[in-house]
Amino acid sequence: MDDEVMLTVPPLGKERHIWHIPQEAPVSRSRRSRGNGEYESAVPARFADYTFVFPAELLADLEDASAALAAFDSYAALKLGTGSHVLGPMSAVLLRTEASSSSQIEHLTVGAKNLALETLDEGVSGNAAIVVGNVRAMEAALRLSEDMTEKNILAMHRALLSAQQGWEDQAGRYRDKLVWVGTDGYSPRGAKHVGPQPELINDAMTDLLRFIGRDDLPIIAQCAIAHAQFETIHPFADGNGRCGRALVHAILRNKMLTRNTTPPVSAGLLHDTDNYFAALTAFREGNAAPIVQRFAQACRFAATSGRKLIDDLCEQLDEARSNLRGVRSDAAVWRVLPNLIAQPIINTRYLQKTVGLSKSQAERAIKTLSERGVVVARTGRQRSVVYEHRGVLDVLDNYAAGLRRG
């Protein structure tokens, strides 16, 4: 991060309040003494009408990153075709690898197999169920990206949190309690960031949505600032980080910088968590350059790593097509094949629901795939049989492992 570059923004305001740990809270006397007393909560700055002055070198960085992201998007469309199941696989890959790279924050590390099994309702991993919620939130964000409204932001959050057991009543609505980051749940005193009081959220989100609606800013910078402001507002009781990442892709799609697929921007953004948090702090102190630089770097990472991921997945499809040589061109198996990227573990129920095959077509397709060595049978939950494409699973797991290694 280049500390010499400045992109001046209004700094975060603060207001003072008094906190008392409830008497029934199971804390020690010393913890209660430290936790009771004065604290400061955030008063979000306003950006809807703010005039930004971008340094020339930052504009050049943003132009380079935008070009890389647009080239990746075009490459994905060329390799996979705009009519293929690109959105599904890339969304699933993105959310799973984001969960892996951000495990220090959310403790969500899920392998490709567990995620695929969970999608079939054959999973046994609690983390996988949450990541499936992440995928649904991402897909909701892209579906709703044409109209960036409060209603759609809440719908995105509802899709995310509905899959998280115990949080269903908080899904799709702003929080009504204070939240903070960086200390235990008993007191905000000593926290790294204390969100705004609940009564400030509506106005802050209205301003943020007006800011997102602007068309006079570099798109990646707009994503970075919107994301940082969203995380500063922390409008929900839970899921703010995941929802904030989905918001980035909604903006990219809304501004048409990406049109065909979902580049793994957040995996790059959160891979270096120390610099990411330092950039958020700098943003709140009045300098948006570090968070914008982090986003530009993450976009270049997404373009490079995403291209290799697509190449590796296409190689698996090419090998499968070779194994299926001689099969009639109108056979249902050809309709199934692209779906193995999105869902590398399948069963007849999934093919009926997702691909639109009849039960007999689904059974014949799986029989052909199995006999030709494209998929292999394994036992799912409750002794049901599912069929997996080992090569695709390995590609996805190797990609996630590469992120963890840096």
- pLDDT score recorded for residue 100: 42
Question: Per-residue pLDDT for 220 more than 80?
Answer: yes
Mean pLDDT, the chain, rounded, equals 86
pLDDT tens, position by position, 371-399: 999 999 988 666 688 999 999 999 988 88
pTM as predicted: 0.86
- pLDDT score recorded for residue 31: 94
- pLDDT score recorded for residue 103: 34
Q: Map out the domains of the chain with their CATH numbers.
A: 13-308 (1.10.3290.10), 312-394 (1.10.10.10)
Question: Per-residue pLDDT for 95 more than 70?
Answer: no
How far is Cα of residue 66 from the mean position of the Cα atoms in its chain?
19
- pLDDT score recorded for residue 110: 63
Q: How far apart are the first and last CA of the chain?
A: 17
pLDDT band at residue 167 using 50, 70 and 90 as cut-offs:
confident
Q: Which residues face 94 on adjacent strands?
A: none
Question: Per-residue pLDDT for 109 more than 70?
Answer: no
Helices (H), 50-200: 56-80, 87-101, 103-106, 112-119, 126-143, 150-161
- pLDDT score recorded for residue 97: 55
- pLDDT score recorded for residue 42: 98
pLDDT tens, position by position, 177-211: 999 998 889 999 999 999 999 999 999 999 999 99
Selected residue with higher pLDDT from 40 and 146: 40
CB 41 within 8 A of CB 225: no
pLDDT tens, position by position, 302-355: 899 889 988 998 899 899 999 999 999 999 999 999 888 878 999 999 999 988
Q: Which residues face 181 on adjacent strands?
A: 193
